[in-house]
Amino acid sequence: MHSNGVPMPPERARDAREVAAVLAEARHVVLTTHVNADGDGVGSEIGLWHLLQARGVSTTIANPTRIPDRFDFLVPKGADASAHAVREIERADVVVVLDVGDIARLGELAAPVRRREAPLVCIDHHVGPVKLPPGPYLIAAEATATAELVFDLANANGWHLSPETACALYVGLLTDTGGFRFSNTTARALRVSASLLEHGVDPESIYAAVYASAPEGRVRLLAEVLQTLVVEPDIGLAWVSVPPDALRRHDTTADDLDGIVEFPRSIAGVRLALMFRQIGNGRVKVSLRSMGAVDVAALAHQFGGGGHHRAAGASLGGSLAEVESHVLAAARVYLRDGAGGDGGGGAIGGA
């Protein structure tokens, strides 16, 4: 079935119908996504919230961290119950995790989700083994974004797409493809986006809300982080570091760092770009981006992280200087040893 004019693989349609059957039996569904939610995580859960509410299913959103301000325009009044997320998780008939394949990425919600006996649904597009309680799952690593799979869930079951649903799903596709620039911008993703436009999306207004409504502090933060840029052109390596108190001084959050690692990646000849930042508890977050054949997911796996071929993330214990030294040494070896491989991918949520 592809009533919106976008065919889908038969196995994906089958999985979508199995997920819908579980959701149809629920009295109360709770939707959640990874810590430091990105546009795909937020857009996917808000899109699904609209779809379920329209079908008379009581639904709330309960995330481990607050929805970034830039996506406030998408959030329906009363939909976000993240302030008491654990309680919501515990009272749900069904929990749906979106844009997450590893329960550890739910942060403080991982434990209450793990304790549950009721059904857990996963809708996700990340590569790698699934580390979640039993499904049903709607997982397709070849999908551009989780939002594409929520679109397929609606499509396979004949659910109507309201303008609000379409806008939320469009945000997921737009952000996970870097504005339809990244290598995960497939022909199918553009067909899905076209269908969403036909259901009431205004691309310019969404662009303005997501990308052209920055607080002054975000731009000043960008300027300061870019001052730390180091490039090693002989091997195609570049990196930036977030000064330890920069977020506080500019009155910004981790969400305001989104996209900064794309600047070192944009330098001619750079094959691997990194961004380092302290995240508390004696740990440092590393965001990895690549060009061409360099597989950053494989490099991130060395440090317990993961992601996509060209976008990945990891967190390591130690000081900023220690982690930089350790990861950069590994990155140099990786690049000199001819890192590569086939595959594609875009942004990983929270990477």
Range in 93-97, 189-193, 304-308 the model is least confident about: 304-308
Residues 6+ apart with CB under 8 A from 262: 178, 273, 289
- Are both 165 and 272 inside the same structural domain? no
Residue 287, classed as helix, strand or coil, is: strand
In this prediction, residues 189-193 reach a mean pLDDT of 97
**Would you say residue 348 lies in a domain?**
no
pTM for the structure as a whole:
0.86
Residue 284 belongs to domain with CATH number: 3.10.310.30
Provide the pLDDT confidence category of residue 345 given band limits of 50, 70 and 90: very low
First to last CA, the chain: 34
Give the per-residue pLDDT at 341. Answer: 44
Domain boundary residue among 195, 211, 227?
211
Is 264 inside any structural domain? yes
User: What is the arithmetic mean of pLDDT over 201-220?
Assistant: 95
Residues 74 and 180 both lie in one domain: yes
pLDDT at residue 133 is higher than 90: no
Mean pLDDT of the chain: 92
Task: Name the residue range of residue 266's domain.
Answer: 217-336
Residue pointed to by tokens 């009155």: 251
The last residue of one of the domains, among 211, 244, 274, is 211
Of 248 and 340, the structure prediction assigns the larger pLDDT to: 248
In tens, the pLDDT along 291-315 reads 988 999 999 999 998 888 888 999 9
Distance CA 66, CA 257 (A): 16
Regarding whether 135 and 173 lie in a shared domain, the answer is yes
The arithmetic mean of pLDDT across residues 52-61, rounded, is 97
| Radius of gyration from C-alpha coordinates of the chain | 20
